[in-house]
Amino acid sequence: MSGTLFICATPIGNLGDITQRVRETLTQVDLIAAEDTRNSLKLINHFDIHTPLTSYHEYNKYEKAGELADILLSGKDVALITDAGTPAISDPGEVLIRKCAEEGIPVTSLPGPSAVITALTLSGLSTGRFCFEGFLPRENKLRKERLAEIKEETRTIVFYEAPHHLRETLKDLYDALGDRRISLCRELTKKHEEILRITLGEAVSYYEEKSPRGEFVLVVEGKSREEIRRERAEEYAEMSVREHVEMYEALGHDRKSALKLAAADRGVSKREIYNELIIEEKE
């Protein structure tokens, strides 16, 4: 019978945020797979945990996933931890978890700290629907493609960013998305936690004068319905109402549906479209 892989969330700053269940599990498993053993050693020493550590990180994730799977298949239990927060979120842990799923190895997750959720709840932006983008690609072409996709996103968007890339990322977001609201979250759960709730334009100016410090979670407002309506209105401004309605009729819609769709595109009522259509037809 194989062992179990335990996905263990660890504190993102304040050591007091570790759960009792995670502490007990880290003590009871046979091995802890850590992203950075030097960093994790501070954590396990603080809680007087004596379980052996092994490294599992971005540069050995494929080879080491196989080795850890063999250990698990031999009947031993393994805990997976990352430097901070929940493993597998923008993290090499996803490779090991996928390997375990393929091998039929039991996996369970011990919930706890997460920088994504912590920042989102502090942002003051909409939390009903959101998406997580992690770090933007560094390669220029891929970065532009990702930003073009994100521009149309209506949900609140969460990013990670390192301090030495923050200025460039804020400028790229401003150029791609316009002056939307953003919450810049740093030093989360620590003594000097800071949440800056401003616009992207203000954020660009702010960090032109101030050096970014610490790891950042950026929470950005999604594209608003008002912005969508405005863009649609501009897109169809050069098309007459009659041409607009006929476009939908050519696609197989009846007159009533075509009027409704044209009205939605232009951000007006169906009655306004109907009245305008009568005027155009008389002309």
In percent, the amount of the chain with pLDDT more than 70 equals 98
Per DSSP, the residues of 73-102 read HTT--EEEE-SSB-TTSSSTHHHHHHHHHH
Give the pairing of strands 156-161 and 130-134. parallel
Query: Which residues touch 271 (CB under 8 Å, ≥6 apart)?
Result: none
At residue 27, the pLDDT reads: 98
Per DSSP, the residues of 217-243 read EEEEPPPPHHHHHHHHHHHTTTS-HHH
On average, the pLDDT of the chain sits at 93
Confidence of residue 107 (pLDDT cuts 50, 70, 90): very high
In percent, the amount of the chain with pLDDT more than 90 equals 78
| 167-204 confidence digits (pLDDT tens) | 999 999 999 999 999 999 999 999 999 999 999 999 99
Cα 32-38-39 angle, rounded to 5 deg: 85
Distance CA 244, CA 267 (A): 13
What's the predicted TM-score (pTM) here? Answer: 0.82
- Rg (C-alpha) for the chain, rounded Å, is 25
Average pLDDT over residues 225-243: 77
Confidence of residue 229 (pLDDT cuts 50, 70, 90): confident
At residue 272, the pLDDT reads: 84
At residue 239, the pLDDT reads: 81
At residue 276, the pLDDT reads: 77
Cα 234-238-241 angle, rounded to 5 deg: 100
Average pLDDT over residues 208-212: 94
Distance CA 107, CA 109 (A): 7
Domains defined for the chain, CATH in brackets: 5-113 (3.40.1010.10), 116-223 (3.30.950.10), 226-282 (no CATH)
Confidence of residue 153 (pLDDT cuts 50, 70, 90): very high
- The β-bridge partners of 10 are 85
Average pLDDT over residues 80-90: 94
Q: Is the pLDDT of residue 232 over 80?
A: no
What strands lie across the sheet with 216-220, from one edge to the other?
130-134, 156-161, 216-220, 181-186, 194-199
Distance CA 113, CA 117 (A): 8
CA distance to 1, 33, 61, 135, 181, per residue, from 91 (Å): 28, 13, 10, 11, 27
Q: Is the pLDDT of residue 283 over 70?
A: no
Lowest mean pLDDT among 13-27, 47-61, 232-246: 232-246
Q: Is the pLDDT of residue 259 over 80?
A: yes
